[in-house]
A and B are shown apart, each in its own frame.
Chain A
Amino acid sequence: MKILVTVKEVATVEDEFEIEGTTIADEYLGADLNEWDDYAIEEAVQLQEDGIADEVVTVTIGPEDCEQTIRQALAKGADRAVRVWDDALEDVDLLDVGAKTEILQAVVEEEDPDLVLTGVQAGDDSFAATGVSLAEDLDFEWGAVVNHLEHDFDDGIASVRRELEGGVEELTEIELPAVLTIQTGINEPRYASLRGIRQAQRKELDVQSLADIGVDESAIESQLELTDMYEPESESDVTIWEGSAEETASELGDLLREKGVAP
């Protein structure tokens, strides 16, 4: 079985930041492997270790800068990586679900995996829609918000649990090929070992342009235009206790006694 994992390098934001137009100023931004994708990579690597997956390939839409993040996935055990980037993507503020789907679809069709794992959502734009949209484009089955996956795939079926709201899980069977969007907590993502990090440097990282994968530039035009970005207004009239830890703890202690909920 071949597994393709979508990997995204997401922007992280410091506690204090400034907004410039419809973006956060560069100096307040960091970059990291998307948390949900980390769990998807781990699940794929575990399937490989269990002798079920023969090959784990990652695909990333991103500029050269994100190769460090892709190498993290390779260091954790993915076999090779595909990175798609193009000058046409440079100036896009917000790549929408449709555009991401078009690009990923082209790569999945080329790679022809049995299973595609994606994170439930990306920590920066939080769309949580690309995996299911991709499945529909590919005519694959799918499952969203999967927090348990049986590793036997009897009769080409993925037995999964989907994490619903309120502490309820849905037990579902999904025919392969399928796209599963992976929820945090499904496993415990490993840290890359030093050996893994060294090996990752030698693994194949194939860079493709839109033309290489046969996607027309017009296909990635976003139908969604970001028009404003601002810090949410606080709705709270919060009372802030200030002073040393002992002083603020004492304020909180008084409140708890006043409410009659502490000894």
Chain B
Amino acid sequence: MTDVLAVTDHRRGDLRDVSYEIITAGRQLADETGGDLHLAVISGTVDEFADKLDRDGVDVIHTVDEGEEFNHNVYTQAVVQLYDDLAPQYVLTPNSVNGLDYAPAVANRLGLPIVTDTVDLDTDGETLIATREMYGGKVETTSELADNAVVTIRGAEWPAAEGTGDAAIEAFDADIDEDAIGSSVNGFEEVAGGDVDISEADVLVSVGRGIEEEDNIPIIEDLADALDATVSSSRPIVDNGWLPKNRQVGQSGKVVTPDVYIAIGISGAVQHVAGMKGSDTIVAINTDPNAPIMDIADYAIHDDLFDVVPALTEEFGG
């Protein structure tokens, strides 16, 4: 039991980036255990996906041709059966919304421990050392697990695998129990639309929890007006209904790449950072010098936003 089984992610006909990243993570682990890297691609146009996933480092790609889109019951059954068939040491899945919708069920059904949202993995073949964050990214921890495990990996932590591989592509005939399928996916809806497209903005003035209350939002809008910029936000502002969903930057909102991103009162949770780290220049205004946003900021002001923002607005004649 030294092999690694990594399960890929796709949606509406496209493989998601983490599917190529999980190849790199899986290869790294398989090298350390001295085993093979098996990939699984489940549902959708599996043969087409398999061709794209055949990159350097993959030994075998198992295609499970069951259904069009993700269904957690199908994924759970297929991965459990692949595990029983291949007896790998580790099962890797993306720490995506869908990964989190089946990986814990797989772990439970197989009686394996699960460690989620890992950012680094190491093994001596016997013990897995998983690195992950706690307390909203304020600390990083390592945990050890003996024997076999299910591990979910955070997106964008490993580089995408490149090159063309020579993996064996094998159809896996999963025996899916239709009676055990108690959920059905009936469609998708884009919800981040609306009149303003923050992904098109050159300058974003982005507001987070530090703004404290809805009545304070206008000071951000005043600054945006003065700079001829667009207002965006982190998740809590949208959750509170203070700005519409189309302003949300992050994993579940929009990915933005402006010339300048001014993060005001935003701590920088990983889900937020995923949506804005590609900005050309990042400026953080935050009282907490240890906030995770500081790790990716180019410039920072460790001061009260209620002092700095009006001063900046005034500077631009607002």
Q: Which residues of A contact B (CB under 8 A)?
A: 11-13, 15-17, 19, 22, 24, 94, 96-98, 101, 120, 123-133, 135-137, 141-145, 161-175, 178, 184-185, 188, 223-232, 234-236, 238-242, 245-246, 248-253, 255-256, 259, 261-263
Q: Are A245 and B304 in contact, CB atoms less than 8 angstroms apart? A: yes
Q: How large is the interface on B (under 10, 10 to 19, 20 to 34, 35 or more residues)?
A: 35 or more
Question: Contact partner of A173 among B117, B186, B188, B314, CB < 8 A?
Answer: B186
The dominant DSSP class at the A interface is mixed
| Residues of chain B having any CB pair with chain A under 8 Å | 11, 16, 70, 72, 76, 95-98, 100-105, 107-109, 113-117, 129, 132-146, 149, 152, 182-193, 202-203, 226-229, 235-236, 238-241, 245-246, 248, 251-255, 259-260, 262, 281, 283-284, 287-292, 294-304, 307-308, 311-312, 314-317
Taking a contact as CB atoms under 8 Å apart, the answer to whether B114 and A136 are in contact is: no
- Complex contact B105–A126 (CB within 8 A): no
A167 touches B108 (CB 8 A): no
- Most chain B CB within 10 A, of A12, A167, A242, is at A167
| A122 to B: closest C-beta gap in Å | 10
Contact of A236 among B104, B116, B297 (CB under 8 A): B297
Contact A97 B104 (CB under 8 A): yes
Q: B300 contacts which chain A residues (CB < 8 A)?
A: 238-241
Report chain A residues within 8 Å CB of B96. Answer: 165
Known contacts being A144-B100, A236-B295, A248-B303, is A259 close to B281, with CB within 8 Å? yes
Report how far A238 CA is from B315 CA in the complex, Å: 23
A-B pairs with beta carbons under 8 A, tally:
278
Could you tell me the distance in whole angstroms from the C-beta of A134 to the nearest C-beta in chain B? 8
Q: Please indicate the chain A residues that have their CB under 8 angstroms from the CB of B299 in the complex.
A: 238-241, 251-252, 255
Q: Show 9 residue pairs from A and B whose CB-CB distance is below 8 angstroms, ordered by the A residue.
A: A22-B141, A141-B182, A165-B96, A170-B188, A223-B146, A230-B139, A230-B141, A231-B139, A250-B311
The answer to whether B134 touches A124 (Cβ under 8 A) is: yes
A226-B133 Cα distance, complex, nearest whole Å: 12
A133 contacts B114, CB within 8 Å? yes
Q: Assess whether B315 is in contact with A253, with CB atoms less than 8 Å apart.
A: yes
Query: Given A249-B311, A261-B260, A255 and B97 touching (CB < 8 A)?
Result: no
Given A132-B104, A167-B254, answer yes or no on A227-B72 (Cβ-Cβ < 8 Å): no
With A16-B290, A245-B307 known as contacts, the answer to whether A162 contacts B136 (CB < 8 A) is no
Given known contacts A162-B101, A236-B297, A184 and B239 CB-to-CB distance under 8 angstroms? yes
Q: Is the CB of A240 within 8 A of B239?
A: no
The 9 closest A-B pairs by CB, nearest first: A167-B192, A245-B307, A185-B239, A223-B113, A249-B311, A129-B104, A132-B104, A141-B182, A144-B101
